[in-house]
Amino acid sequence: MSTPVKTANASQAVTPVQIYGAWHCGNDYCTWGAVRSIAEFDSQNHWLIDRGDGRPSVNVVILSFVNPLSLLHQTTDAATLNGVPRGMTPEIVNYFSSRGIRVMLSIGGITYTDDWDAALAENPTLFGQRAAAVASQLGVGIEIDYEQNTDPNLTALQSFIDAYRAINPYDATGTRPQARLTIDVAAGDRWLIALNRKATADWLRTDTPVLDYANAMVPARPASATSSQASWQEHVDGKPQYSPPVPPLAPAKFTGGIYIAYGGKALPECIDYNTSLQRATAPYVQTVVPNGAGTTAGMLGFMFWAAERPSTRGIGTVPPYTCEGGVGAGATALTIAVPMPALRQS
């Protein structure tokens, strides 16, 4: 039996959505292997910076993905420069940041799970230092996307985080982009269990925060509003029946993932806010009450997977299937602040 979804009562104020962003896979299926002109990039991605009235559709973009082992080794080859994909240039970062959109780099993804393992086994401290250096150089945050479901190297991941935080300490104000360090967890609590348990127990606490927040990723395929909310509720409740248990996560410490590109047809989440999942789930996201962790109601917001070309199959979010009418209209309906405000801490 699923756990009933807990929402705030009618007398409670709706908590504003603070994070409203998109992972971005570039035009080559999440490798970012080539430098692009700003004119060409804008022709495929203008909807992100203009929802139709000159205001951005999102307040954060996460460039996905950096190969962890290449970053550790500072690899330079046809697709990589000093460990960073050649397409992740200062000009691309500025395309977004000059318009008030926060930029982050995602290290990992499911394709690079083995490389995460290898980098953590080789030298997690140096790996963390090099991630921090790239963040400072580009003026971006870093997302940990370590999708090892079987025996993740959590001791080494702790060393990576410690090394990063020694250079870029936690900043509750969110003023310094490079101080933002986040982690991806599964849609609910039943995958990436060990990683989620460690992150919730030690890195996403409201009293002694280490990471800024987590993103509950999209499930294997687009889900209904009911299914999505049930998955997010698993994080809020934790899993006390597991051995060892997974503790509850404060709603103020995570976002929920939604598809905007999947398969061969345009999704409402991209093109039609009125019938979209973000509209259907917004009341839950804005009012879900803590259940053992945190004090304020409401998740941090939404993350969308993924802008431009996330897959070799499907239509992506490029013209004529751009997302002003879905993501952009949602930014207006939900009164999304751009730039992103300082995040709730409890």
| DSSP conformation letters of 102-169 | EEEEEEE-GGGHHHHHHHHHH-HHHHHHHHHHHHHHHT-EEEEE----SS--HHHHHHHHHHHHHHS-
Share of the chain above pLDDT 70, in %: 97
Alpha-carbon distance of 259 to 267, in angstroms, equals 8
Tally of CB atoms within 10 A around 201: 16
What residues are paired with 14 via a beta bridge?
A: none
Q: What is the pLDDT of residue 27?
A: 97
Q: What is the pLDDT of residue 8?
A: 46
Q: Among positive and negative, which fits the CA dihedral 188, 193, 196, 200?
A: positive
Q: What is the pLDDT of residue 12?
A: 61
Alpha-carbon distance of 187 to 44, in angstroms, equals 28
Q: Is the residue at 159 inside a domain?
A: yes
Tell me, yes or no, if the pTM score tops 0.85.
yes
Q: What is the pLDDT of residue 149?
A: 97
Q: Is the residue at 3 inside a domain?
A: no
What tens digit of pLDDT does each residue of 55-101 get?
999 999 999 999 999 999 999 999 999 999 999 999 999 999 999 99
Q: Stretch 296-310: mean pLDDT, rounded?
A: 98
Alpha-carbon distance of 170 to 152, in angstroms, equals 24
DSSP 184: E
pLDDT over 60 at 144, yes or no: yes
What residues are paired with 24 via a beta bridge?
A: 63, 307
Q: What is the pLDDT of residue 6?
A: 52
Q: How many domains does the chain have?
A: 1
Looking up residue 153, the CATH number of its domain turns out to be: 3.20.20.80
pLDDT over 80 at 34, yes or no: yes
What tens digit of pLDDT does each residue of 229-277 get?
999 999 999 999 999 999 999 999 999 999 999 999 999 999 999 999 9
Q: Is the residue at 191 inside a domain?
A: yes
Domain with 205, as residue range(s), is 19-333
What tens digit of pLDDT does each residue of 196-235 get?
999 999 999 999 999 999 999 999 999 999 999 999 999 9
Give me the chain's average pLDDT, please.
96
Alpha-carbon distance of 214 to 197, in angstroms, equals 12
End-to-end CA distance of the chain: 29
Q: Is the residue at 6 inside a domain?
A: no
φ and ψ at 29, to 5 degrees? 65, 45
CB-based contacts of 94, cutoff 8 Å, min separation 6:
none
Q: Stretch 319-337: mean pLDDT, rounded?
A: 98
Q: Is the residue at 345 inside a domain?
A: no
**What's the one-letter identity of residue 89?**
T
Alpha-carbon distance of 194 to 244, in angstroms, equals 9
Q: Is the residue at 90 inside a domain?
A: yes
Q: Is the residue at 327 inside a domain?
A: yes
Q: Is the residue at 341 inside a domain?
A: no
